[in-house]
Amino acid sequence: MEEIFSVGKRVPQIDAKEKATGQAVYTFDMKLPGMLVGKFLRSTLAHAIIKKIDTTQALKLKGVHAIITRDDTYKIRYGSNSYFFPFTDDQYPLATDKVRYIGEEVAAVAADSEEIASEAIKLIKVEYEELPAVFDPIEAMKPGASQIQSSRNNVAVMIPALAGDIEKGFKESDFITEVEFRLQSAAHVALEPHVALAKYEEGKITLWTSTQAPFRVRENLAKTLKMEQKDIRVIKPQVGGGFGGKLEMLPLDFCACLLAKKTNRPVKFCLTREEEFIYTRRKHPMIFKLKAGTSRDGKIKALAGEVIADGGAYCSYGPTVVAAAIMRIGIVYKLENVKIFGYRVYTNNPISGAIRGFGGVQSGFAYESLIDMLASGIGMDPAEFRLKNATDPNFTAFNGMEITSNGLKDCIRLACEKSDWGNLKQNKKTNLGIGIAIAADVMGSKMYKSHESAGTVIRVEEDGSVILFTGAADTGQGANTTMAQIAAQEMGIDISRIRVIAADTENTPFDTGSFASRVTFISGNATKRAAQDVRKQIDEIVAKHWNILQERIAHKKELIYDLENQFNQMSFQEAVKLCYSFEVGKMLIGKGVYNPPTKPVDLRTGKGNVSASYSFEAQIAIVEVDKETGKVKILKIIDAHDVGRAINPMAVEGQIEGSLIMGIGYSLFEDLKFKNGICPNPNLFNYRIPRSTDTVEIETILIETNDKEGPFGAKGMGESSLLPTAAAIANAIYDAIGVRITDLPILPQKILSALKK
Amino acid sequence: MILKNFNYYRPQTIKEAQELMNSLESPLILAGGTFVLTFFKKSNDFSKNIIGLKNIKELTAIKKEKEYISIGSMVTLDNLCRNDFIKKDFSFLMQVISEVATPQIRNMASIGGNICSGLPWADLAYLMLALDAELVFVDKKIKINEFLDLPKEKKVILKEIKISLNKITRYAFTRIPRLNNTDITQGAVCIIEAGDKVRISANLGNNFARIFKETQSNLNQMLKKDQEKDLINIFSKELNLVQKDEYLREIIVNCFKKSLRIYAKI
Amino acid sequence: MQKYNIEIKVNGKNYELEVNSNTLLVEVIRDQLLLNGTKNACNNGECGSCTVIMNAKSVLSCLILAADCNGAEITTIEGLSNDLNKLHPIQEAFVEKGAIQCGFCTPGMILSAKYLLDTNPDPSEEEIKIGMSGNLCRCTGYVKIIEAVKEASRKIKK
């Protein structure tokens, strides 16, 4: 390998200064001349047929420019899992036949001001025929329950995970445990709400939107607006956080575009914090009914059960969330006998969808609590039990997931070492406990489209400055910086030469979006290839100039030299000058595309390989429980993480810390409640998220396994850090006070009442 | 979240403010604004006439008198903590207040607003109760315990809060925030010994009652005689009258126990 | 509708403005003065993204009536430094320490840090946590923000 000067360095985000001075522009900040304000009329009923919508009075209001309802749309359904689950395209951009949850978008207004738009909303009359509503997923699955969509028993999809012979597995078990876990809903709480600003000019729509996936937004806009993709330009400005909540086209995107087209004026929708909490997407509440068995010597023999997810009124990313919730276990443990069914159930609650962890937070809590119960059932140390069953490198899981590099066992060992596991387990202090949980995650998931491509184009300008065009959507995680670091390393230049133009469907190559921890791995590979391409073009010209073979050319930072003749060297700047000289006259443009090698998932068995590599981690929590107040104080969390290779250790730590603290919030107090389809706490006063006073000491250990497929060996890791957190905490609480918590959040009252039992 | 339109009055003196209070139709006072404005943003129905007190200089003074320290009702929580008199004679107030709310809220919220808001989590209310503070209104003076028992009446402006200069010789304070740190108080117990009196005040969890209005002058003796159990019984009795939630009862009693333990150690 | 005239000084510049009774300070800053660094992510006093420094105190501009700001001196993030080549030490520390991810909370965070360091130049870790507790961040988990405030304190003392 040549000199490493960019990859592996703690580089501040390339746009951090703009953010620090308040200059960074988010869709939230954007204004256009003549801009109108968009607002929704939302359903007041949880389940009803829409008989009639009357906008006559509202249209008469001064300052109202247009109102759209179902009749202004093509009535085309869309969804986010169209490729593998085409039948889950179940949502209209504006409610068409029925409303299926309280708050569903029924009509949209464009007006001169927010006040006028709000007034107009009040003047729209909707006639409904109310239908029975069902809010509990188990009730919804019963025969005779009110039918929300056309699927039988309100089960949108059923996903299996099957392997071996489950009966045999239980027969061979010396200890069997059966337990039910219940997980609550939660909100993303990105600081920037969902905002969409659209304009219509010369037959083309331009939409600025706070999104994680501009190309996916364009795809569904084109479908529902019946337009060609070339006639829709979706631009992602700075985005104030996503966490999975900004992955899809939402009604505000569609309505901003349609209203802009209708009024010929720019239209902007900006959701309020309350709308943000309830009417975007939320975490799937899940029930895990699990049964597992182990042999006396600590080998997991059988795992069976079912997972029921309250999906709310529409599918969104739900089918794959449920798939992810039951499939990940195969890359964590070597399992032989498995029989799990996952059900994604429709209810009349708001829509559940993607959120950081993608089903893995819920399943992480359930499975990793269960594993601890198995270990304690046979009297084995939980870390040792995990080491006995953890997967190895080059292992194919029962469900066909193909692991290549795998640092899981090193993660467990190092986390134990750093936390003084053995000592703390041996010499127990009163009310102090230590707990471990482990996890594995994908980097990309080919479950949404026939391909999962990313593309990068790199232009070297005449003055030697570089413009990098990537489809990857930086939503704050620092993707632009990572792309620039990779390109700088590959091209042998300083990062300051590079400006990144990202996530603009008209000007940058395609990219499926920022989700599934895929950007560093997939877009990073595309960027590396583009940089390689442009570097080779320069090398060719320089080699010719020195009259040597191209293989002899090598790069250091800002320098090109001949491996065999020390007198042959020139700066990158000189090389660019040479390329653009009269004699050569070669314009420098490099391109790179990458589509990870994977295998499709067979929906009948759940077998397939969705990701080209996998990342691993072990987390250990040390907690103290106050038996008087029931309060859990986390003293420290150690996170050992196989990140392949840290392109930017500072950004990697930032992902781990942010993810982990989010995990602590979900473990201890975050709870988006719903009662009869109504959310009682849709604000930051009653839905608390962690504050600076809730942080804990975090020790991160980065384990570099140098993945052969990853760019410079890197793996994805943005989501995985919150997968084991809740279980690590719950297992530590069990260690401290002997109380097993099976439902989140772990509120003090739960501890107190469990202590009484 | 839009703030609807209203008539806003910005009096310069207490007299002017009181006149407005008397003449306007259903007037409402805006002090620090940290509660009232959030409430207005959510509510469709609020007073059309709002009187802001921010321009009244007289209300922002902290004065040391012979036997009292007098705190203007518009003094912010932060300014209260940074005041030299308070730092010297009431350092515990500083410690306690710095634990509640956030820096920005402490910079905005006024001590008068906190007491008069009637919010169940208002921390100044029970702190002042333990200090046996006196509230000075335009037309009357009353002890804070009497005020807290009165039905809320918004017609008169609170001018200042008077606290006796009796030296605080011992104190203990325990507070339980609702969900996470910096969240609102859902239970708290404050014990203060000043002069020959010991006062115990408490926030009994999301309701307005704050107990131990009587001085527990025998507290020190009881603690010496290991009569902690009796104290807890008295406390629990009062608590059970007003708090029906079993969990809150439990943690507030534990709060009391913890405060007693801290108090006994000092 | 009654109008209120106010004179305010923002980032050293004087402005005479006409506002309504229900105009909030954050609206004046963002919509009239076009200083977009100040955000109003929750609009209800919970998140701290609208934090500005008014008369030497950090305050929430979404809970302050503009009509009450007559004579006020206000610093927004743009007033610390708007020059990418010459950042304020706190801005510098936030950049260097990786305390910025999506950046939406950053202006409010930095102003809270400024108020903290103005009133307590050498805060302990616990004091930093309390000092920053009025500002929500969903990206960083606060670890690097706390480090940045420590670093800023060192930089300013130099």
* HEC letters along chain C: CCEEEEEEEECCEEEEEEEECCCEHHHHHHHHCCCCCCCCCCCCCCCCCCEEEECCEEEEHHHCEHHHHCCCEEECHHHHCCCCCCCCHHHHHHHHCCCCCCCCCHHHHHHHHHHHHHHCCCCCHHHHHHHCCCCCCCCCCCHHHHHHHHHHHHHHHC
The fraction of chain A above a pLDDT of 70, given in percent, is 100
- Determine the Cα–Cα distance for residues A358 and B19; give it in Å rounded to an integer: 60
pLDDT of residue A34: 97
The string of pLDDT tens digits covering residues C20-61 is 999 999 999 999 999 999 999 999 999 999 999 999 999 999
Q: Residue A452's closest CA among A139, A7, A83?
A: A83
Query: Is A22's pLDDT higher than 70?
Result: yes
What are A108's strand-pairing partners? A40, A68
Residues A630, B251: C-beta atoms closer than 8 Å: yes
Shortest distance, CA A696 to any CA of chain B (angstroms): 12
pLDDT tier for residue B224 given thresholds of 50, 70 and 90:
confident
Task: Kindly list the residues from chain C whose CB atom is less than 8 angstroms away from the CB atom of residue B102.
Answer: 48, 133-134
pLDDT of residue A705: 96
Name the average pLDDT for chain A. Answer: 97
Query: Is B1's pLDDT higher than 60?
Result: no
pLDDT of residue B39: 82
B neighbour chains, 3+ CB pairs within 8 Å: A, C
- Mind giving me the DSSP string for B70-88? EEETT-BHHHHHH-HHHHH
Q: Residue A651's closest CA among A485, A454, A471?
A: A485
C66: amino acid identity, one letter? A
C neighbour chains, 3+ CB pairs within 8 Å: A, B
The string of pLDDT tens digits covering residues B63-82 is 999 999 999 999 999 999 99
- Determine the Cα–Cα distance for residues B116 and B128; give it in Å rounded to an integer: 12
The string of pLDDT tens digits covering residues A59-75 is 999 999 999 999 999 99
Residues B103, C131: C-beta atoms closer than 8 Å: yes
pLDDT of residue A251: 98
- For residue A189, the chain C residue with the least C-alpha distance is C138
pLDDT tier for residue B109 given thresholds of 50, 70 and 90:
very high
pLDDT of residue B207: 59
**Burial of A203: CB neighbours in 10 Å, binned 0-12, 13-18, 19+:** exposed
C123 vs B: CB within 8 A:
no
Residues B4, C20: C-beta atoms closer than 8 Å: no
- For residue C131, the chain A residue with the least C-alpha distance is A692
Residues B2, A114: C-beta atoms closer than 8 Å: yes
- Determine the Cα–Cα distance for residues A128 and B164; give it in Å rounded to an integer: 65
Query: Is A125's pLDDT higher than 70?
Result: yes
A344: which residues sit within 8 A by CB, 6+ positions away? A155, A156, A157, A158, A159, A309, A311, A315, A318, A319, A321, A322
- For residue A695, the chain B residue with the least C-alpha distance is B181
Q: Record the tokens describing residue A413, joined without a space.
A: 């060992």
pLDDT of residue A1: 45
The string of pLDDT tens digits covering residues A71-108 is 999 999 999 999 889 999 999 999 999 999 999 999 99
For chain B, the distance separating the N- and C-terminal CA atoms, rounded to the nearest angstrom, is: 49
Number of Cβ within a 10 Å radius of residue C88: 22
C107 vs B: CB within 8 A:
no
Shortest distance, CA C8 to any CA of chain B (angstroms): 15
- DSSP symbol at B98: T
The fraction of chain A above a pLDDT of 90, given in percent, is 97
Task: Kindly list the residues from chain B whose CB atom is less than 8 angstroms away from the CB atom of residue C55.
Answer: none
Q: Record the tokens describing residue A307, joined without a space.
A: 């997972």
Task: Kindly list the residues from chain A whose CB atom is less than 8 angstroms away from the CB atom of residue B176.
Answer: 629
Average pLDDT over residues A180-189: 98
Q: Tell me the pTM.
A: 0.97
pLDDT of residue A621: 98
* Mutate: best of B180, B185, B206, partner A, most A CBs <10 A: B180
Average pLDDT over residues A324-345: 96
